[in-house]
Amino acid sequence: MTPRRIAAGLKTTLLAALLAASSALPATDAPQAKYPDYPSETPASFKPATGSFDYVERDVMITMRDGVKLNTVILVPRGAKHAGIVLTRTPYDAHQLTHNLMSGHLEPLLEGYDNAADVIVEDGYIRVIQDIRGKYGSEGDYVMNRPVHGPLNPTPVDDATDTYDTIDWLVKHIPESNGKVATIGISYDGFEPLMSLVHPHPALKAAVPMNPMVDGWMGDDWFHHGAFRAQNLSYIYEQEATRDNTAKWWTSFHDEYDLFMHYGSVGAMGDAYGMRQLGFWNKLVAHPAYDAFWSQQAMDKVLADQPLTVPVMLVHSLWDQEDIYGALAVYRAIKPKDSSGDMVKLVMGPWHHGQEIEEGSSLGAIRFGSDTAKYFREHILRPFLAQYLKDGAPKAGLAPVTAFQTGTDQWQRLDRWPLSCDSGCTAKSQALYLQSGMQLGFDPPSGSNAYDEYVSDPAHPVPFRARPIQPVGYDNGLTWPEWLVDDQREASGRTDVLTYETAPLDKPLTIAGAPEVNLVASTSGTDSDWVVKLIDVYPDQVAEQPAMGGYQLAVAMDIFRGRYRTGYDKPGPLAANQPLAYRFDLPAANHVFLPGHRIMVQVQSSWFPLYDRNPQTFVPNILLAKPADYVKATQRIYHAPGEASYIGLPVVAN
């Protein structure tokens, strides 16, 4: 068959097939097939049957003075009458914080972060949690720790006005309330009760800031004495990238030490993660020193300029791994205004950040002999809230300061904090000197050995805890809350850490206050960090808890960035190879070094990756340091007559 005949045959076959197929199609005017009536099983609007619940939930949007509406969850105990209101404002999802475990009972519902659930439920309070503007279910723009109206905030609204407007709505629209409100919260949520004290609403009867964010540069979340908290990059990323924190930090490393070393400077790391899109990150990079951006929003300074009209209970954790500065800074700022002596209470417990609402019989390997957190809630928080929120309740009878003394593991009722002062006090600063031969003692140094030295290498920074280093976090077995009580033997065996130690004590030594570092040191570089740790060394054997034998427990430790030696707002290069004096405070301690224990002081020049590495070359902004800026430096710590290094201990007479 020729090609033309084959083609003709194919055309004929194809035409026949098309005609057959078309005859099978329905006519266009034929009736269309219909599915049977088969509706969705999900109702258009579901109404839960909650009649058996012991609470009533109301989800409302409260309008602020500028028209922005804030998502607010209200939980009212069923049958409540004349009940006080406990209010928390949060950037962490009001719905989640009020639905920790779905239950028909209120206490399991609240049991979790930022809820002292036992006190709130057992005392019959109305619980209110609100998303701050710009987060989760609330409208508006989010600004990290939104400053009060003024130079840093040109808008007419801030967290103080939002709290005022919220309280005003609550007392007018919750018929079960008695019109009395207390603000309470931990960390960022602890910043909010402080803001409620700025031009407070008349219905605000008490405020309980717990572990509050107060001064992000001086010693809370972002910097400590000028050194940047590198591991907080993940928090900034997740908190700012989206309204509901759905953009999650990521890593390709198991060990955070390797992660941060991989990127070099935190500026380079931020760029790799796209953080230049985040407003707060850009502000932070633009303000590495303690300028007006930081000082004008520091809440201790803000409240120092406000009248004290609302009773305040400040709650501080002695091993707060996040905000160890803020509560005591606010106490120093507002306590002088307490002319009656009954407006400002301070509580100091042996806890990590926020542990006061959890179980508190231990922290890491350290045991306290009782549930200290439950004691706080039952004997301190409960009567304080009752005094101001319950109709006709008696006075709480609390001491001006309630402090847990570690070492002896007992609660104390104190008249003031710190116990040391210029006159009329039972404590005084006593110099504990670094001495030759790596010794530590109360006698001034003598002899010809003027200093000890080590090499600080940014290529091999000192880890702040044993590797592999975990990320910041509280869930899935993470031990971030415990790092301040880690055994410091990991560092004391390194050649780039100097370790000074006393002989075993033959009698107790009690301190109550902030140890003061007085360091005389030199560096071969032009900038340097100085990390100083005050440590309680346990006896070599501890019969009742063998794992504590020789344990090195940090009582107080912190970092100082050398460029700020002459002023936190005046960064400048260090004169190389010249002994220079550095003075800074360690976090407050209320501790007894027991007989048989030793006192230790460690000195080093990196604490990684908790804090970013100092390149040891002076650059205008360490956050933006380049790889070539990072150099080794020889560090010398002096202990000679006239150049003595020591820790000023706030020693209390036994």
Give the pLDDT confidence of 407-438 residue by residue, as tens digits.
Answer: 999 999 999 999 855 444 556 899 999 999 99
For a pLDDT cut of 70, what percent of the chain falls above it?
Answer: 94
**Mean pLDDT across 498-510:** 98
pLDDT of 5 strictly over 80: no
- The reported pLDDT for the residue numbered 445 is 92
Q: Which residues contact 36 (CB under 8 A, 6 or more apart)?
A: none
The predicted model gives 640-646 an average pLDDT of: 95
Query: Per 3-state DSSP, what percentage of the chain is helix, strand, and coil (rounded to 5)?
Result: 25, 25, 45
pLDDT tens-digit map of 520-569: 999 999 999 999 999 999 999 999 999 999 999 999 999 999 999 999 99
φ/ψ bin of 264: left (φ > 0), alpha (ψ from -120 to 50), beta (otherwise): left
**Whether the bond into 288 is cis, omega within 30 of 0:** no
| Element spanning 9, H or E | helix 3-24
Q: From residue 597, give the alpha-carbon distance in Å to each of 49, 311, 349, 548, 588.
A: 61, 41, 22, 12, 20
Q: Tens digits of per-residue pLDDT, 456-488? A: 999 999 999 999 999 999 999 999 999 999 999
Per-residue confidence (pLDDT) for residue 311, from 0 to 100: 98
Cα(184)–Cα(380) distance, rounded to whole angstroms?
14
Averaged pLDDT score across all residues of the chain: 94
**Structural contact between residues 494 and 602, judged by C-beta atoms closer than 8 angstroms:** no
Average pLDDT over every residue of 105-118? 95
Mean per-residue pLDDT, 166-173: 98
109 and 63 in contact (C-beta within 8 Å)?
no
The answer to whether residue 351 scores a pLDDT higher than 90 is yes
- Where b means 16+ CB within 10 Å and e means fewer, 549-588 reads eebbbbbbbbbbbbbbbeebeebeebeeeebbebebbbbb
Phi, psi of 177 (to 5 degrees): -90, 160
| Assigned token pair, 424 | 């009329």
Minimum mean pLDDT among 48-52, 136-140, 593-597: which range?
48-52
Angle among Cα 417, 342, 356 to the nearest 5 degrees reads 60
Opening angle at CA 230, ends 226 and 236, nearest 5: 105
Given a cut of 50, is residue 13 above it in pLDDT?
Answer: no
> 225, 219, 179: which is closest to 203 by C-alpha?
179
The whole-angstrom separation of Cα 359 and Cα 377 is 11
d(Cα 377, Cα 356) in Å, to the nearest integer? 8
pLDDT of residue 446: 87
